[in-house]
Amino acid sequence: MANPKTNFAPAIQVFKPHRASLPPLIPYLKEFWRRRAFAIELSRFADKAEYLDSKLGKVWLVMNPLLLAFVYFLLVTVIRGGSTQKTGLSTLAHILIGLFTFYFASNSINGGALSITAGGRLILNQAFPRALLPLSSSISAFWQFLPTLPVYVLVVVIGKVFFPHTQIPGLRLSYLWAPFIILCVGITGYGMGLLFATMNVYFRDTNKLLSYITRIWLYSSPVLWRPEILHGWHKIFLYINPLGPSLAATSDVWIEGRTPSLGMLVGSVVWALLAVLIGGYFFVSRERDFAVRI
Amino acid sequence: MPEELAIRIEDLSIKYKINIDTKKTLKNAVMRASKGEKVRTRIVEAVKHLTLDVPHGSVLGIVGANGAGKSTLMRAIAGILPPTEGQITVNGKISTLLALGVGFNPALSGRDNIILGGLASGMTRAEIEEKTEEIADFAALPDGFIDMPVRTYSSGMYGRVAFSVAVNMTPDILLLDEALSAGDASFKEKSFNRMRELCAEARTIVIVSHALQTVNDLCDSAIWMHKGNMLAKGKPEAIVDQYLKFLDVGTLPSNLEDM
Ligand SMILES: Nc1ncnc2c1ncn2[C@@H]1O[C@H](COP(=O)(O)OP(=O)(O)O)[C@@H](O)[C@H]1O
Ligand SMILES: [Mg+2]
């Protein structure tokens, strides 16, 4: 080989016609892993490009969900007919952390859905595992999500100073579950991003549909309401929602300060796996078609 | 595949399916389904039953009119477009410069784009960082333009960066689609020399170019494509000659009419 220093993997490649079936998975995943730096840098550079001239843009990323959370909090409080000092802060905290987490997933899905159709040039001119593009969107969503966590902590700490009788726990061991749940949310978001990215190649108005889905999805998730209000068979609404278990677990960890129930943990993992397997299947089996259809 | 071959193309056909009347939206799909209509599509055969071997270390030129299927063929060799029929076997690492500006993000600086381009083509972060300076030097943009957003570039500067990225990747196989015409006379000479170097390093190069003199000078062999068919294959001088005659007269030579 002309340059032995570089470790470019497959020496011989064969390109053949394909039906809607998976390419050889092991080489695909190897290549995917080998080029992960591309996805990471792409998201970093996309952020850089977007906020190059506006420092305010980054602030807005945090402000937007924060303000929205306060609006929802007012709405929920009004509907409920006021709240006591005891429950008020925990309602706000619950909405905050729920909304931040939900936004992490939905940003990753929305960004992922557009990543292929928006990546026209790159897709027409370079061969690489296309699943890296939605991954890059998910990474961006994660970097947007991360600074909202200290904002949450800040709101709770300030709140605890003003309302010392609140139920919100301080530092608890249960917080150790948070990274695990965030990972599940991230994987679920990535998997669904893959699914909608594929759909968006075939139907260009998918992202419009997605904005309705996202809204309905938010209202049917335990973000504006506590998961505890569901009893008996109603609990099924938590489990049929891809983000239901992980959002309920989020509430358990942050608001109740307890280890999430086994059901919620298993539910989170199962949905993450389902999303990435189903989304991955649709995406990878059709991605060789993308260049023709873009 | 024989050892000495870099690219083997066997009976390759590539078809595009184009929706004629409607935009591809869910709304339209539902509307059509409710009326029981079918989507009207047209099939464009961009490459038709093409068979070709490219040995290691050879330089192949492709000439042909617009819409002949040259870019489609290049994308297929790069593994971007899947064959509709036939197969392509490629032995070696490919670097592509297909149409100008591989994935260039106009808001980012030239340097950032070089890094992104390198990563997209499969280099590691360390490898591309090591090369960035070399690539930037090769592009030799005036007064610090390399650190300015790409949107402020002239098309010539844009082309210079894109070309520098492609030729400094140390690929085994280099695919250049109408990329040699970038920049001014001095850059052209420099890129021509760099191409010579690459040829001398026994790399395999496929060039699509409308600069027929370049094809003559650089290539060991050439093919002429017309409406998806490979009309002729041979020494570059002969192919370019035939092609020029065709351009002059506007009709195919009679011995090729029936293809
Ligand atoms: N993305 C595409 N979708 C549909 N048709 C295409 C697409 N790209 C190229 N074609 C068609 O394929 C044919 C060959 O195009 P191309 O390979 O770009 O030719 P060339 O590079 O030789 O000018 C043309 O008829 C063109 O209309
Ligand atoms: Mg072309």
Contact list in B for residue A11 (CB cut-off 8 A) is 91-92
Total domains present in chain A? 1
Pocket test for ligand 1, best of B12, B13, B15, B44 (most atoms within 8 A of CB): B44
CB-count burial class (<10 Å; 0-12, 13-18, 19+) for A154: exposed
d(CA B2, CA A277): 39
- Encoded amino acid at A29, one letter: L
pTM over 0.90: no
Query: Is A218 within the bounds of a domain?
Result: yes
**Residue A225 carries which DSSP code?**
S
Q: Which helix (H) or strand (E) holds A20?
A: none
Provide mean pLDDT across the span A227-231: 85
Instruction: Pick from A15, A44, A196, A203 the residue to mutate for testing the B interface (most B CBs within 10 Å).
Output: A15
Contact (Cβ atoms closer than 8 angstroms) between residue A82 and residue A166: no
Query: Is A118 within the bounds of a domain?
Result: yes
Contact list in A for residue B120 (CB cut-off 8 A) is 38, 122, 126, 128
Tens-place pLDDT, residues B40-65 = 778 889 999 999 999 988 899 999 99
Tens-place pLDDT, residues A114-138 = 999 888 778 888 888 999 999 999 9
Query: Is A154 within the bounds of a domain?
Result: yes
Is a pLDDT exceeding 50 seen at residue A250? Answer: yes
Cβ B89–A14 below 8 Å, yes or no?
Answer: yes
Is a pLDDT exceeding 50 seen at residue A8? Answer: no
Report the b/e string of B135-154 with b at 16+ CB within 10 A.
bbebbebeeebbebbbeebe
Query: Is A73 within the bounds of a domain?
Result: yes
d(CA A32, CA A36): 6
Ligand 1: nearest atom to the Cα of A294: 1
Token digits of residue A79: 């509907």
Query: Is A119 within the bounds of a domain?
Result: yes
Q: What is the mean pLDDT of chain A?
A: 86
Distance of CA B84 to the CA centre of its chain: 19
Q: What is the pLDDT of residue B102?
A: 56
Cβ A292–B17 below 8 Å, yes or no?
Answer: yes
A246 alpha carbon – ligand 2 mean position (Å): 49
Which of A65-69, A149-153, B18-22, B162-166 has the highest average model confidence (pLDDT)?
A149-153
Cβ B120–A6 below 8 Å, yes or no?
Answer: no
Contact (Cβ atoms closer than 8 angstroms) between residue B116 and residue A45: yes
Whether complex ipTM tops 0.95: no
Q: What is the pLDDT of residue B257?
A: 47
Distance from CA of B241 to the nearest CA of A (A): 30
Q: Which ligand sits closest to the CA of B42? A: 1
Q: What is the mean pLDDT of chain B?
A: 83
Q: What is the pLDDT of residue A3?
A: 38
- With a Cβ cut-off of 6 Å, ligand 1 is lined by B 16, 18, 44, 46, 64, 66-72
Pocket test for ligand 1, best of B14, B15, B16, B208 (most atoms within 8 A of CB): B16
Contact list in B for residue A49 (CB cut-off 8 A) is 105, 107-108
Contact list in A for residue B100 (CB cut-off 8 A) is none
Q: What is the pLDDT of residue A280?
A: 96
B71 alpha carbon – ligand 2 mean position (Å): 4
Provide mean pLDDT across the span A195-205: 92
Nearest CB among B25, B127, B172 relative to A204 is that of B25
3-class state of residue A84 by DSSP: coil
Query: Is A106 within the bounds of a domain?
Result: yes
List residues in chain A touching B: CB distance below 8 A: 1-3, 6, 8, 11-18, 34-35, 37-38, 41-42, 45-46, 48-50, 52, 119, 121-128, 202-206, 209, 288-289, 291-293
Cβ A17–B87 below 8 Å, yes or no?
Answer: yes
Report the b/e string of A202-221 with b at 16+ CB within 10 A.
ebbbbbebbeeebeebbebb
Closest CA to B212 of B241, B185, B232, B245: B241
Length of chain B: 259
% of chain A beyond a pLDDT of 90: 43
Ligand 1: nearest atom to the Cα of B73: 17
Q: Please report which confidence band the pLDDT of residue A65 belongs to, taking 50, 70 and 90 as the band edges.
A: confident
CB-count burial class (<10 Å; 0-12, 13-18, 19+) for B220: middle
DSSP symbols for B135-171: HHHHH--STTGGGSBGGGS-HHHHHHHHHHHHHTS--
* Residue A259, domain extent: 54-293
Q: What is the pLDDT of residue B203?
A: 80
Which of A55-64, A256-265, B12-21 has the highest average model confidence (pLDDT)?
A256-265
d(CA A49, CA A43): 10
Residue of B nearest to A48 (CA): B108
d(CA B207, CA B219): 8
B69 alpha carbon – ligand 1 mean position (Å): 6
Q: Please report which confidence band the pLDDT of residue A191 belongs to, taking 50, 70 and 90 as the band edges.
A: very high
Between residues A269 and B148, the one the model is more confident about: A269
B45 alpha carbon – ligand 1 mean position (Å): 9
Q: Among A45-49, A212-216, B125-129, which stretch is predicted with the lowest mean pLDDT?
A: A45-49
Residue of A nearest to B202 (CA): A2
Closest residue by Cα to atom 11, ligand 1, is: B46
Q: What is the pLDDT of residue A79?
A: 78
Closest residue by Cα to atom 27, ligand 1, is: B67
In chain B, DSSP assigns E strands to: 5-19, 41-55, 59-63, 85-91, 94-98, 173-177, 204-208, 221-226, 229-234
HSE-up (13 A, CA, CB side) for residue B114: 29
> Which of the residues in chain B have pLDDT under 70?
21-22, 95-104, 180-183, 202, 250-259
Contact (Cβ atoms closer than 8 angstroms) between residue A98 and residue A116: no
Residue of A nearest to B173 (CA): A2
Instruction: Pick from A36, A48, A292 the residue to mutate for testing the B interface (most B CBs within 10 Å).
Output: A292
Please say whether the dihedral angle defined by the alpha carbons of residues A249, A253, A254 and A256, taken in this order, is positive or negative. positive
Query: Is A224 within the bounds of a domain?
Result: yes
B98 alpha carbon – ligand 2 mean position (Å): 8
